[in-house]
């Protein structure tokens, strides 16, 4: 096994460099830290907010040590110089991809790509970046469970910023679930416990939608439904988290 993120090799053995959860991959092994700030990597999908609009670019806050500029050529729009404010204004939320990391510390991001773009309405909830893999779950099982039971749209940033869209009730329920995931990240069987909680707190006027009514938005934008996205058998709905 090759050492991946959160690990190192000494004398033919792989050791953990951080306290976290073991995550074996196809040909490597990594350890997902239980806590820590976001460190951007090329290819990451992140949720950012606009902090300033300049002549040819916007400055985004993505929770990294430095702000990330989004150039007008990195968007699907034909933006004229000086007209950036017509497309994005301070406070707007966007889903972008980290494109480059320069030696100067500059973080290049782009909005070009499937599922990327402006996130209209909704709200942003922050969790530890270390909890993002638990929020996604195996093959998207956790976020699939949340979407099915709440009817909310969720865009997950690997920077720990989660955009949630939908009715006020749906946003509130997802926010509560995110808090539970934040607090219970290390525990095993977390997907089952979250599903039990959602079933037990399901509003009477919104029955459980079932596995055919889903809309998953994971760390690749709004993804297609995954009919096999299960990693744990459901427990009785009377068992609350």
The domain locations on the chain are 2-33, 45-119, 123-223
Task: Classify domain 123-223 at the CATH class level.
Answer: alpha beta
pLDDT, position 201: 86
Is the separation of the CB atoms in 69 and 108 below 8 Å? yes
User: Is the model's pTM score more than 0.95?
Assistant: no
Domain 2-33 shares a fold with domain 45-119: yes
- Which CATH superfamily groups domain 45-119? Nucleic acid-binding proteins (2.40.50.140)
pLDDT, position 80: 95
Whether domain 2-33 has CATH 2.40.50.100: the reply is yes
pLDDT, position 36: 67
Distances (CA, A) of 52 to 56, 65, 110, 116: 11, 17, 16, 20
The whole-angstrom separation of Cα 135 and Cα 214 is 16
Q: In what order do the strands lie in the sheet with 20-24?
A: 2-3, 28-33, 20-24
3-class secondary structure per residue, the chain: CEECCCEEEECCEEEECCCEEEEECCCEEEEEECCCCCCCCCCCEEEEEEEEECCCEEEEECCCCCCEEEEHHHCCCCCCCCCHHHCCCCCCEEEEEEEEECCCCCEEEECCCCCCEEECCCEEEECCHHHHHHHHCHHHHHHHHHHHHHCCEEEECCCCEEEEECCHHHHHHHHHHHHHHHHHCCCCCHHHHHHHHHHHCCCCCCCCCCCCCCCEEEECEEECCCCCCCCCCCCCCCCCC
pLDDT, position 81: 95
Per-residue pLDDT of the chain (241 residues; tens, 9 = 90+): 899 888 999 988 999 998 887 878 888 898 877 766 788 889 999 999 999 999 999 999 999 888 899 999 999 999 999 999 999 999 999 999 999 988 888 899 999 999 999 999 999 999 988 888 889 988 888 999 999 999 999 999 999 999 999 999 999 999 999 999 988 877 778 888 999 999 988 876 665 555 433 343 444 443 322 333 333 333 333 333 3
């Amino acid at each position: 096994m090759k050492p991946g993120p959160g690990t190192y090799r000494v004398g033919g053995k792989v050791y953990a460099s951080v306290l976290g959860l073991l995550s074996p991959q196809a040909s490597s092994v990594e350890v997902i830290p239980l806590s820590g700030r976001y460190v951007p990597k090329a290819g990451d999908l992140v949720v950012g907010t606009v902090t300033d609009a300049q002549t040819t670019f916007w400055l985004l806050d993505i929770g990294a040590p430095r702000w990330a500029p989004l150039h007008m050529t990195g968007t699907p729009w034909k933006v004229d110089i000086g007209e950036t404010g017509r497309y994005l204004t301070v406070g707007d939320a966007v889903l972008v991809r980290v494109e480059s990391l320069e030696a100067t510390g500059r973080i290049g991001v782009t909005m070009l790509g499937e599922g990327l773009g402006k996130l209209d309405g909704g709200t942003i909830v922050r969790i530890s970046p270390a909890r993002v893999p638990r929020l996604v779950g195996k093959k998207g099982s956790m976020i699939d469970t949340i979407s099915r039971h709440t009817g909310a749209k969720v865009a997950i940033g690997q920077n720990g910023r989660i955009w949630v869209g939908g009715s006020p009730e749906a946003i509130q329920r997802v926010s509560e679930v995110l808090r539970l995931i934040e607090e219970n990240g290390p525990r095993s069987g977390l997907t089952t416990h979250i599903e039990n909680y959602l079933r037990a707190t399901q509003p009477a006027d919104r029955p459980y939608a079932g596995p055919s009514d889903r809309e998953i938005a994971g760390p690749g934008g709004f993804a297609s439904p995954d009919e096999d996205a299960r990693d744990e058998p459901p427990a009785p709905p009377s068992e609350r988290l």
